[in-house]
Amino acid sequence: MENLKIHFIGIGGIGLSALAKFLANDGHKISGSDIKQTEITNDLATNFDAKITIPHHEDAVEGVDRVIYSAAVRPTNPEYQKAKVLGIELLSRKEALKSILEKKEVYAVGGAHGKSTTSAMLASIVPQSNALIGAISKEFGSNVRPYANNKVVFEADESDESFLNSNPYLAIVTNVEPEHMEYYGYDEERFYNAYKNFLSLAKIRVINAEDTFLASLDMPSVKLYPSKDIKNVSFILVDGKPHTKFELLDLGAFEVFGFGHHIALDAALAILGALELKENLEDVRANLLNYKGIKKRFDIVQNREKCVVIDDYGHHPTEIKVTITSLQTYRDLRGFTELNVIWQPHKYSRTMDNLQAFVECFEGVDELVLLPIWSAGELEVDIDLKGAFSRYKLLMADWVTKEDGIVKISKDGHIIREYSEGLIAAFGAGDITYQIRGEA
């Protein structure tokens, strides 16, 4: 496609900003708007010469060739309406993927959990590739890595079936678990068929064959059986940071940043995918060490001898549960006695749909701080979190901040608790990440 002026409505989102950067690297002139200025919009303005409009304004679409909008944008948005009046081509992110990826060799990673991690690992071990992922890889400090060829490591999103437009040459699927069911009309068959169709598009498939749904599929695939193919898993500290060692099949030993059997599983899928792409085994082993984790996933935001603070994006009970296990391992290796956890629930619908699983997933924490639910634009619903979580040593709070290495918990304008020792972890997909970093 010839070079265009492309405007993005909702450019501050992790997914849309990745597309904007990717298209800027392809030679297009980009601009965008969002409701507030953030780290992401500043990066786009400074490093990608993007004209950013805050908040949305109809004039922002004047003179552009194409408008791409995020899933959160409604037809009432002033820029959307103006683009329609002006006859500018309007595409959702999902629709735009088709033309963006149709001529690329795409290595797509999908799944309910672990897809950002697996995508970032795959980008590390296939270094001569573009990367377009839904998280910030700490190795290259961005959600996008440009490279001058047509190979693309791509994090494929099932939430709106957009992964069906990703043109996968290689498809890796970590696991499948029904979520985003409001999009699928609460029809599980439709949800599972989307994954089936995604895999069927690929020339090469690599799957976790111990996932019940993936195991049931009848299509040629490279199958990983984690319980027998991954052996001798051990956890070590390197400069106070978590690393997992494991052996895979007959391929020898590997080491990767992060803690947990799920980290070994994600790495194993990425390794098998890279080998299918004919990457050299010893290069894969060495390049995996370049993976430094991803921002907001077991992200050590303070690493002091007596007090470590970790920020984690986990917002689903399955993710939180495995991370709590990793945190307990980390606590013990660091010689701490306490693990205190702060949770900002994300969305009323998700909290209600999974309430019992959320109650169980924090098992083993010393104190649990509950922040108000981050609504993500949903209507408020009354949920008795204090009652539901009564088994825990519980603190109901409004706000968290970090000053001078101390995590401070506030309620009704007063500090009700300070943590200055041990391991403190914060979970959530809302603004908790800025609170716990002391940036809010």
pLDDT at 440 over 90: no
Mind listing the pLDDT tens digit for each residue in 47-76?
999 999 999 999 999 999 999 999 889 999
State residue 1's pLDDT score.
Answer: 59
Mean pLDDT of 289-297: 94
- Which stretches within 246-375 are classed as H helix? 261-276, 281-288, 317-334, 348-353, 355-361
Structure-block tokens of residue 304: 């002091």
Mean per-residue pLDDT, 297-316: 94
Q: Say whether 95 sits in a helix, a strand or coil.
A: helix
pLDDT of residue 61: 96
pLDDT digits (tens, 9 = 90+) for 358-412: 999 999 999 999 999 999 888 999 999 999 999 999 999 999 999 999 999 999 9
Residue with tokens 């519980």: 394
Q: Is the pLDDT of residue 4 over 80?
A: yes
Q: What is the pLDDT of residues 20-55, one digit of tens each?
A: 999 999 899 999 999 999 889 999 999 999 999 999
Per-residue pLDDT at 107 = 98
Strand, coil or helix: 315:
coil
- Angstrom distance (rounded) from CA 166 to CA 156: 7
pLDDT digit string, tens, across residues 184-226 = 999 999 999 999 999 999 999 999 999 999 999 999 999 999 9
Residues, the chain: 440
Measured between alpha carbons, how far is 85 from 83 in angstroms, rounded to an integer?
Answer: 5
| CA distance from start to end of the chain | 41
Q: Which residues of 13-33 are buried (b: 16+ CB within 10 A; e: fewer)?
A: bbbbbbbbbbbbbeebbbbbb
Which amino acid type is present at position 343? Answer: W
